Structures are given as C-alpha cells and as structure tokens.
Structure 1
Amino acid sequence: MSTTNTGLPGGVAVSHLSVYDWPSADGACGGTPHMHLACSEAYVVTGGRGAVQTLTASGYEVTPLQAGTVACFTPGTIHRLVNESDLRITVLMQNSGLPEAGDAVLTLPQEYLTDPETYARATVIPADAPVEEQERVARARRDLALEGYRVLRDADGPQALAAFHRAAAALVRPRIAEWRERWRQGAEAAAAATGAQLDLLELGEYPHLADAAVQSERPAARGKFGMCGRLDVYRN
C-alpha cells in the first residue's frame, strides 16, 4: 500500500467561482439550485456579498455570505447561490471534485427527472458550442431549475421533497460505479495513505518522509459555465 497521497489533502478538490449576476423571475441574481447526493461542499467567500438559500428536510434557510465566511453543507442540501454584489467564492468539494463531475441533480420540474436522457437534454451545456450558446443554455437550465425549486420550497409537508430525493437517486444510480472509482482513487486512497503512515510511525519507521514533494498548479480551465457561476477549475 502506498504511503504517499498526491493531489490536495484528503481527496478534496478546489475551484474558484464568480457567481452569476443574471437576474431571475423572483428578482434575485444568482445560480442554479441543485443537490449533491454523496458529497459535502464548502464555500470560502473571498469577495463580494450574497447569500446561499438552502432547503432540507429541516426546512428552508438563508445564510448570508461575505468575505471571510465559510459555509458548509452535507449531501441532501438543496442550495441556491444569490449574488448581491460581485460574489466570489473558493469552493472546496469532497471526493476529488465529484460534485462538478456528476454528483449534482438540478431541481428541475418533476417531468424532467423521469430518466437520464430527458434530464440530460435539459441540462447538458454543449462544450463545443460558441460561448453565447453555452450562456443561453446555462441561463435556460437555471431558470428551469428555479421553477422546480419554488415548488419544493413552497410545498406543504415533506412529500414534494421526498419525491425529488427519490427521482434524484434514480437518476444517478447508473453512475455509481464510476463515482465509486473516483472515491477509491481519491478520498479512500488518501485516508489509507494516512493509515499506513501512522502504522509506520508507530513502529518507529518513516520512509515516506524521504518522498516529500511539492506540487503547484494553474487552473486547467477558466470561465467555465458551472451550475452557480463561471468557474476556474483545477485538475487536482
């Protein structure tokens, strides 16, 4: 077993986010409400001002965001970023960036959540399309997700949220094997490396110290249209 882990600590991934300033039907500017099913996420606010609206089985909440705020949420938290003034965030994602690599279901109206193909037609941004077309698709899917989000937020009782959870879990089920492999190569491998290092240190051995290394990286892509805003992403 390797005692050295590459990449960011613990299999975490990072991206820089400039939250969309596009106005929506309710007058707020911001991103696309969505939920992760297997990953926690954290926002480290680096500039501007805004809020994150969240919806869970415990209810609806609004958390103000400003420079210096760190906001974390666990799987199952529907979240919507609101940009009040040039909101910029460094995003920390569990499991080697799985939230931006598939572990996300947008709060589309129920008829779009029936099967993966229907969902993909409403959500996939064509990577080879001109920037103007990518923006049009990103805005359209944001507005569509807000329609479903408002239904969930305003529903009486837990039935609507439970139905969304059920549909979201069915949508991602075909991808679990792919996700599991990313987890094995990232977070699980990082935890196993730490365990091996502790075992060696307990024996008075420390060969991993001679393998110490420094890595640095520039963004692999800038200005990518994400769910919540324009992203500078890293391979990490």
Structure 2
Amino acid sequence: MSAAPPLFPGGVAVSSLQVYDWDAGDGCAGGSPHLHTASSEGYVATGGSGEVHTVSSAGRAVHRLEPGEVVWFSPGTVHRLVNHGDLELVVVMQNAGLPEAGDAVLTFPTDVLEDPEAYAAAAALPASASDEERADAARARRDLALRGYRQLLDDLEARGSAALADLHRRAAALVQPRVERWRRLWSATVEAETARTREQLARLAAGDPAMLADAAVTSAARTPGPRQYGMCGRLQTWEWPQPRED
C-alpha cells in the first residue's frame, strides 16, 4: 500500500492574494475585517504596498506591507487589509482546512453576530452567479463587516478590552457547532504530521533511517477558474490532498 502524499510543510495552507482596491468610504481601500478562532495567519508581501490594521490584546496597531515584509498574528486578532496600490501577498494559514471550514469570523454588527442564521446569510456568496454579481456580493459583505468594525473601534474607545472580549465570546459561540469536525480535520493533518516527526526523531536518535525510504514529492494543481472572491481580495488557491477525518 502506498504512503499518503506528504502535506505541505507544517500542515499549513498557502494562497496568493490580490487585495481588493475597493474604496471603503473612510479613506481606505481593501478587505473585510475579521478574526480567526483557531488558526494563526501570516502574510508575505510580494507586490505593491499597503497595511494590515490589527486589534488584539496589545491594542490597535498598523503594520506596513511592502515587498519583503512579513507579518503574522495569532487567533483572536482582528485584522483588516488596506491596499495603497496593487497590494499582493502570499498568505500562509495554520491548520490547513480549518479556515475553509469556517474558522474565520467577520466583524459584522452585533445583531448579526448574535444570530447564527443571519450571520450565515450575510457571510455567504452566491454559488451560481456571474462574476459581477459575486463581486457585488463580496463588496456588500465587506461593507457590512466594516460597519461592525467601526462599532468595535467605538466600543474599544468607550470600554477598552471588554469590547474585544465580547467580540471573542460571540465568535466562539458562532463556531462552536463546527469544532467537532475541526478536531477530526486537525487530527488527520497537523496532529498526524507532529506524530510522524516525533517518530522520525526517535528513529534517527536510534540510528534507524528506515522512514527516509518513504521520501516523496507532491505538487498541487491550481484550483480551476478565475481567482475566488475571498474576505480580503481575489484568491488563487491550490487543490490540496484531502485528509481522511475518521
């Protein structure tokens, strides 16, 4: 029986992102503010210029993004990409599969965040629609997230860290029904890779090279069709091997 194809190093996912240049009405152009509940995210700037605006336990911050800049942040960090011109990034996501399974929570207004059905409707893009219609839906989603983001910033001014704690509570409640599936995905990918490395180190410590015989090379096919409409821009993704969840 052949061995399973190796995962991308570290069990991460990689995508190429062209950040939206849509004006947001506040002097900035860019993507949808959101946070991740379980996965860290990293940006490697490859073209253009811009910023990522963050809200975390350390407060608000602005991080420059120009070619060669690398920024990453842990779960719970609210982040908003701002495009100053032709901003392009390589995005590295921890826990490949979890973000695609709903790990990201957009900063919609409070009434939407507290209603799972309203949140799901606001976050979804039409599956069968023209490119123009999908662009319009992605922009409307971005604008709704910015409404909630501005409410969050006002609330931070008024109540400090309690405002971010309330957002985290609402985000956790939204994703709670998905966590059992996330555990299966994580066990089949990141946990399995960690266990493989543990065994590899133990064998090497004993002078046993046997696992090196499983060496393999894998390439990923580009996801067909035009770039997808992501939360922050147009995404080029790749089709990764699908793990078993049992």
TM-score grouping bracket, smaller chain normalisation: over 0.9
In structure 1, the residue matched to 2:149 is 149
- 2:220 corresponds in structure 1 to 217
* SS of structure 1 residue aligned to 2:239: coil
Q: Residue 18 of structure 1 contacts residue 231 of structure 1 at CA under 8 Å; is this kept in 2? A: yes
Q: 1:193 to 1:4 in 2, by over 3 A?
A: farther
Q: 2:236 matched to 1:232?
A: yes
Post-superposition offset of 1:79: 0.1
1:22-45 CA distance string (max 9 Å, x none): 001202110000000110010011
Q: Size of the alignment, in residue pairs?
A: 235
Which of 1 and 2 has higher RCO (CA within 8 Å, sep 6+)?
1
Of the structure 1 ranges 226-235 and 153-162, higher mean CA displacement relative to structure 2 is found in 153-162
Please report how far the alpha carbon of residue 163 of structure 1 lies from its aligned counterpart in structure 2 after TM superposition. Answer: 1.5
TM-score normalized with structure 2 length = 0.91
Cα drift, residue 218 of structure 1: 3.0
- Pairwise CA distance, 1:18: 0.2
Matched residue SS, 1:96? coil
Paired residue for 1:177, among 162, 180, 187? 180
Query: What value does the CA root-mean-square deviation take over the aligned residues?
Result: 1.6
Q: Which amino acid aligns with 2:143?
A: D
Secondary structure of 1:127 counterpart:
coil
The percentage of counterpart residues that share the same residue type is 53
- The answer (yes or no) to whether the contact 1:20–1:29 under 8 Å persists in 2 is yes
Q: CA deviation at 1:127?
A: 2.0
Equivalent residue, structure 1, for 2:244: none
Aligned letter for 1:152?
L
Structure 1 spans left out of the alignment, 5+ residues: none
Is 1:95 paired with 2:95? Answer: yes
Q: Which residue of 1 aligns with 2:209?
A: 206
Report 1:155-170 matches (<5 A).
155=155, 156=158, 157-170=160-173
Q: Kindly state the Cα deviation for residue 158 of structure 1 after the two structures are TM-superposed.
A: 2.4
Give the match for residue 243 of structure 2. none
Q: Give how far 1:102 is off.
A: 1.1
**TM-score normalised by structure 1 residue count:** 0.95
Which portions of structure 1, spanning 4 or more consecutive aligned residues, are displaced by more than 4 angstroms? none
Query: Match for 1:158: what amino acid?
Result: S
- Structure 1 residue 118: deviation in Å? 1.2
1:195 aligns with 2:204: no
Preserved CA contact (<8 Å) 1:5 1:189: no
Q: Could you tell me which amino acid in structure 1 is paired with residue 237 of structure 2? A: V
- How far, CA to CA, are the matches of 2:71 and 2:128 in structure 1? 34
Farther off after superposition, 97-106 or 20-29? 97-106
Q: What is the distance in 1 between the residues matched to 2:228 and 2:49?
A: 21
CA–CA distance in structure 2, aligned partners of residues 31 and 92 of structure 1:
17
Corresponding letter in the other structure for 1:30: G
What's the counterpart of residue 122 of structure 1?
122
